Amino acid sequence: MMKKRILLFAFMFLAIGVSAQNFTKSEKDLIQSGNIKTMLKVIQITDEKELKILKSVSADVDPKEKLLPLLAERMYLAMRDPANPGIGIAAPQVGINRNVIWVQRFDKEGEPFELYLNPKIVWSSALLRKGMEGCLSIPDISGNVLRNYTIKLAYQDKNGKQHEEIIEGFTAVIFQHETDHLKGILFTDRMKEQEKLEVSPVSNEINLFIEKRLKRQ
C-alpha cells in the first residue's frame, strides 16, 4: 500500500513536470511591468476582463522558470499591501493563470507566509468547518463558507522539491480558498453551491459539521 502511494505521488509530480510550460510573452510582460520592486495589481471581479481571468483554470508552473521569483515577490507585496492586507493570494489574482499561491501558516510558530507551487489537495476530511471568508479580489463582500477541516496537500517548493502534508483548521481553510482560485472558483461560488447543502452539527458549541448524505453511504 505504501509503495503504491509513493508511486502515485511520484507519477503526479512527473505529470506536473511534463505539463508545466514556460511563461508566455504576455505573462512575462505583466510580471516585469512598471516598477518591478512594487506589488502587482490585484484584479477585481467588478471588471469583466479581470473576472474572466479569475474564472479561468490555471496551469502548472515550472519551478525553474527564471521569472518565478519576481512573480512570487510581487504577489507577496500585493498580498501584504498596507492599505488592504491579506493572509493568502493566488497568481490569478494578479492576472497570471498559474498554479502559484502564498499562504500564511497560522499553524506554525511565528505564523510565517510560505510559497507553494503546483499545490493539489489530494484528500479531504468528511468533517467540515464553517467560517467567515473574504477575498482581495471581491470588494465589500464576506460570508460563511463550509470547508473541509483537514486536507492533505501535495505541492512543490521554490526549488522544485516535492512535498505532501496534512493540514488542519483555519490554515486548511486558507489553502482551500487559494487552491479554489487556481480552478477558477471564488468563495462566493462556494457560498452559492452550499445554499441547499444539508449538514449535521457535530456540536452546538463549535462550527463543525458532517454532510448528511455521508450517513447514507
Task: Compute the distance between CA of residue 208 and CA of residue 97 in angstroms, rounded to an integer.
Answer: 33
| Residue 193, C-alpha cell as written in the block | 453551491
- Cβ neighbours of residue 135 closer than 8 Å, sequence gap 6 or more: 141, 177, 186, 187, 188
Residue entry with cell 495589481: 41
Strand pairing partners for 26? none
* Residue 136 contacts residue 92 (beta carbons within 8 Å): no
Q: Which of 65, 178, 193, 211 is catalytic?
A: 178
Q: How far apart are CA 52 and CA 95, in angstroms?
A: 10
Cell 462566493: give the residue: 188
Does the active-site annotation cover 165? no
- The CA-CA-CA angle for residues 56, 132, 168, to 5°, reads 80
Question: Active-site residue numbers?
Answer: 178
